Structure 1
């Protein structure tokens, strides 16, 4: 059985999700059709993260933003790749692939189509209300062309079900083989990811700056990006892009994971932090809400002042923070393992 994964960005959590699915389902043939947008050094660098049996096709004309001329080109290019695989299962990842891919599959008579939004475009807060409404309308239009929507978590599944779509969900998952020594964790605050509008570095910096005056807390942003200039507080270390092993070392060595994200699907960064035994302090947005049991493995906050109050309390009590970190590990093993992710998608692939 052949699974064709179609994705516009070749980066971020979408890439991690596809890598994890392929690793867990090696009995299937996997073809990845991907765009050229990546936060890595090169497309080849990203491809090396995949199982060596994976086949790749570069989707040359696709881009993130809506551009009628380019999107028409991208549609016909994708259609040309899919026409020789009418018996395959097509798994569309992200909004652009979901829209163009469902129409392309419908036009070719491909029936076995799955769409995982990985955080729909209509959740973006960096665009106007009118544009979000437009994105929502595009989702509704695309749904008439078929396909099963499979959210990457409970919140995403519910959001699409509220649009009246045929929807289920499979939780994102990670490899749960970490061994964490809580006694070696430092009382420092970490985040891992790209420094962009979605991840809201301005709020992260605001929180760090307030705590610099009231607490001796060290903040670490593992990653890089075009909005790095927001992270000016003296108590923030920005590491730049690191190999996964080094990222894991920062997560395992830190006690608290702080996410100020403006919107999320079901963030791998948070799941991996839970797996590393971090207590969570997360901005109260869809996706993040799925991962926190308030007061047990962390807290949600609505603004910077709430986050500061939570962090001030946690930084004074390592015993409570460690207890929350152990609860995070338990939750990941029970609900967000790579194995359960693979099994969930396998069941869908075999029954769609």
Structure 2
């Protein structure tokens, strides 16, 4: 079986490498290649450097074939021409797949060229996010239109949560037999170890995410006012200066740890007992899943997507306001048995629902569903 993967519009393997995502993002394809004998070809929006970055798979860097323009508009127009430029370089695929809504039009055109089934997978609902972020009416409409077009022309349109599935089926048409769920996967290598959990940091909490408004770090800092607990944040972003001033004025110790590769981050999770997410909105949050898989007790802001992952007081905690967050943190600090129980439940949940082995098998089932030898 030969699957053609179209990377997100404008994204290259060099980008993945520089942001520390490369090793993680390739694990799924390495597993499917090894266990299911699936042959992958990748179309990236990079140059020949991408071929040297990913050596175990066939890579076609699009900007090695067509000039990258300074104008974003011209690059966008060229993206409709790209499929016709590369078709002779691609061995006949059996399936075409893209992992984000952005760039799905490239995959749609290739699907028509090769007359092969198309799978579109989205990690989050871009249309909903555009409304949450108060994008312009034009951008919101563009995301709506692109979502609808992608649903119409895909054989399978995968989302990561029941919340997203329900939303799409209520808002868009031609969804009944097209839209399905495939959650995010995480590394499941960590094994529950009571002694190791007991040795973890308890006077600090960990949070991971971009320093942007969506992550709601101002709420986190305000909530910790008066608590003798430090906040460690992994991530970069435009709000660092603002958050530094806020932490100083509230007398809350916040350590901005910067960015780490995913491999490094997985080791960082294992140093902490408690992980907090204050994001205003999320999809199937990878950071929450990774924290749970690493044995952290996750305390997350209530929303419908987080509710699908966290069973309150069983494998984690959900809060709605500053008072609830502070109350949960204070309870956890003085109740080690609760930390141990929640940690074990979280690890078990991830193994059953989000492990790489489980999700790779589920992904392959979707391949089989559309594959026509």
In the superposition, the TM-score normalised over structure 1's length comes to 0.83
1:116 is displaced (CA, Å) by 0.4
Q: What are the superposed Cα offsets for residues 140-179 of structure 1, whole Å, 9 maximum, x if unpaired?
A: 1333323310123333333333334111122222221113
- Counterparts in 2 of 1:210 and 1:294: CA distance versus 1, 3 Å: closer
1:343 is displaced (CA, Å) by 0.3
Paired residue for 2:102? 96
Unaligned runs of 5+ in 2: none
Paired residue for 1:268? 286
Is the 1:155–1:287 Cα contact (8 Å) retained in structure 2? Answer: yes
1:238 is displaced (CA, Å) by 1.3
Paired residue for 1:70? 75
1:190 is displaced (CA, Å) by 0.8
Name which of structure 1's ranges 163-172 and 281-290 shifts more when overlaid on structure 2. 281-290
- Counterparts in 2 of 1:62 and 1:174: CA distance versus 1, 3 Å: farther
Map of 1:1-352 to 2, 5 A cutoff? 1-8=1-8, 9=11, 10-11=15-16, 18-26=25-33, 27-35=37-45, 48=53, 52-60=55-63, 69-82=74-87, 84-102=90-108, 104-124=109-129, 125-128=132-135, 130=137, 131-162=139-170, 163-164=172-173, 165=175, 166-179=178-191, 180=193, 181-187=196-202, 188-198=204-214, 200=215, 203-213=216-226, 215-232=227-244, 233=247, 234-352=252-370
Q: Distance in 2 between matches of 1:265 and 1:31?
A: 27
Q: Distance in 2 between matches of 1:143 and 1:13?
A: 31
Q: Distance in 1 between matches of 2:312 and 2:112?
A: 46
Q: Distance in 2 between matches of 1:347 and 1:317?
A: 43
Q: Distance in 2 between matches of 1:62 and 1:210?
A: 50
1:22 is displaced (CA, Å) by 0.6
Larger Rg: 2
3-state DSSP of counterpart to 2:157: strand
Is the 2:273–2:296 Cα contact (8 Å) retained in structure 1? Answer: yes
- Counterparts in 2 of 1:346 and 1:81: CA distance versus 1, 3 Å: same
3-state DSSP of counterpart to 1:155: helix
| Root-mean-square deviation over aligned CA pairs | 3.1
Is the 2:160–2:183 Cα contact (8 Å) retained in structure 1? Answer: yes
Is the 1:274–1:325 Cα contact (8 Å) retained in structure 2? Answer: yes
3-state DSSP of counterpart to 1:91: strand
Unaligned runs of 5+ in 1: 37-42
3-state DSSP of counterpart to 1:144: helix
3-state DSSP of counterpart to 2:5: strand
3-state DSSP of counterpart to 1:290: helix
Q: What are the superposed Cα offsets for residues 2-57 of structure 1, whole Å, 9 maximum, x if unpaired?
A: 21211224547986774232121112122222335xxxxxx76x985x6x412323
